[in-house]
Amino acid sequence: MGEVELSCRAYVKMYLHACLFPRVSINGLLLSSSPAGGAVYVTDCVPLLHSHLSLAPVTQLALTQVDVWCSQTQQRIVGYYQANACASDSSPTPCATRIADKIAEQFENAVLLMLDGSKMSPDYRVPPIVMYERKDSRWILKDKHTIMLRQWEETRDIAGQMLESGDHALLVDFDSHLDDITRDWTNQKLNAKIAELASPANGSI
């Protein structure tokens, strides 16, 4: 299996999602707007739930809607992320592998990403991420060397900056959208903010 790269936007939104709901498990979908084949480049993510992750109706609904949105915007669902309520536990739950399996049915090189709460201190030096890939119908830990985050330090700083200024409160996940459907789960506003902060560094984030 090839390389996986995470964009700044995808990482920052996942990070902010975990920070917005620190006491519960959260999950979301990883998207890519790059053509299939070769490395998997995760360009964006959609935060999904912060309650009842293992109940089917809202998950099914979210998967369907995100699928539709992806086909409208030339993106595809390439993976799944989750952060457990218990910060010291970064192993995938049955719910995580089930959803990741479903994604793998449509996209062979699907990626399962767990956020490691114990590594999310303010001065962390490596991305607090554990990645799994599918081999022989099981999800196994992926070799760290094939996960890339271009300009990691800038990305980490952007995430930290946005957290400091309270921007994580702007993030809308699917759960929040269902509580108030005027809120946008595609997070266009947040994407714009991230792009603004990222632009001095390098155009291709």
- Closest distance between other proteins and the C-beta of residue 100, in Å? 16
Whether 4 contacts 39, CB under 8 Å: yes
45's enclosing H/E stretch is: strand 44-49
Q: Residue 36, SS3?
A: coil
Nearer to other proteins, 80 or 185 (CB): 185
Nearer to other proteins, 3 or 164 (CB): 164
Nearer to other proteins, 61 or 148 (CB): 61
Give me the 41-80 binding string for other proteins, x by CB under 8 A, dash otherwise. Answer: -----------x-xxxxx-xx--xxx-xx--xx-------
CA distances to 21, 30, 100, 118 from 145, in Å: 30, 20, 22, 20
Q: Which member of 184, 192, 195, 199 binds other proteins (CB under 8 A)? A: 184
Whether 17 contacts 175, CB under 8 Å: no
Helix and strand numbers, DSSP H then E, in the chain: 6, 9
- Contact residues toward other proteins (CB under 8 A) are 25, 52, 54-58, 60-61, 64-66, 68-69, 72-73, 86, 88-89, 94-95, 177-179, 181-186, 188-189
